[in-house]
Structure 1
Amino acid sequence: MSREVRHFLYDIRQTISIIENATAGKSFADYSGDPILKLGLERAVEIISEASRGIPDDLKTSRPEIPWPKIRGIGNVLRLEYHGLSDKIIWGVIVDEIPKLRLAIEAILRVVEEP
């Protein structure tokens, strides 16, 4: 059975919450010095990337401020070219892009969940 779009959105929202909890009060130095935190956050970004593929284009275009192709692409980079991705890039995604993505996902969920 295929998943409904809301399930992909819930996965993204839950993963964002995990990222927020894991990074609360943390700095780049904390991130770069903690290999378990790094691996966990990289995996969380992979999950978000993969789940974003299940969001239909019409919903994505309703949130043009989100770089959807980059979200999709970073998962491939993490899976296939992980050795070339710097800590600063991932940390930048975490602190700069994840908060914007949370707002967009919440807005899309309101549309999807309308009665």
Structure 2
Amino acid sequence: MKPLDRNISVLEHIVTYCEQIEQTVERFGNSAETFRADPIYRNAAALCILQIGELVGKLTDEFRAQHPSIPWRQIKAMRNIVAHSYGTVDPEITWEIITDDIPDLKQYCTRIITSE
């Protein structure tokens, strides 16, 4: 698979996880209080964040360098925090990610996919 094709495939998977986060918010409710109180809600979102971070690691270095407006390193770091925190992921930070960052990431990835 050519690097461009691989990167596009990875972006498509990232978009899928962004959509799953959106669906999770729709299912459980767009409420920070509900998110903080419901471990199932938090775990569902955290798993998608973990998967997105894992996928970011599969993008080529060249691709990440060509798209510096996305904080690829921070996305990967959040994956590591979720994967290795053993239940101590800050719900406030996670809520901020799913409500602020995920929609932007989805929009950005979709724009790249459709422009290639």
TM bin, normalised by shorter chain, reads: 0.7 to 0.9
Name the aligned partner's letter for residue 32 of structure 2: F
Q: How does 1:1-16 map to 2 (within 5 A)?
A: 4-16=6-18
The runs of 5 or more residues in structure 2 that have no matched partner are none
Q: Which residue of 2 aligns with 1:107?
A: 111
The runs of 5 or more residues in structure 1 that have no matched partner are none
- d(CA) in 2 for partners of 1:81, 1:18: 22
Name the aligned partner's letter for residue 97 of structure 1: D
- d(CA) in 1 for partners of 2:97, 2:88: 15
Deviation at 1:46, TM superposition (A): 0.2
Instruction: Give 2:30's match in structure 1, choosing from 26, 30, 47.
Output: 26
Deviation at 1:108, TM superposition (A): 2.0
Aligned CA RMSD, in angstroms, stands at: 1.9
Tell me if the contact between 2:10 and 2:58 (Cα under 8 Å) persists in the aligned partners.
yes
Stretches of 4+ moved more than 6 A in 1? none
Q: TM-score, normalised by structure 1?
A: 0.84
How big is each residue's C-alpha offset from its partner over 1:55-93, in whole Å with a ceiling of 9 and x where there is no partner? 123332343321110001111111112444210010111
Q: Which residue of 2 aligns with 1:90?
A: 94
Q: How does 1:27-66 map to 2 (within 5 A)?
A: 27-66=31-70
Name the aligned partner's letter for residue 55 of structure 2: A
Tell me if the contact between 1:66 and 1:100 (Cα under 8 Å) persists in the aligned partners.
no
Percent sequence identity over matched residues? Answer: 26
| Matched length | 111
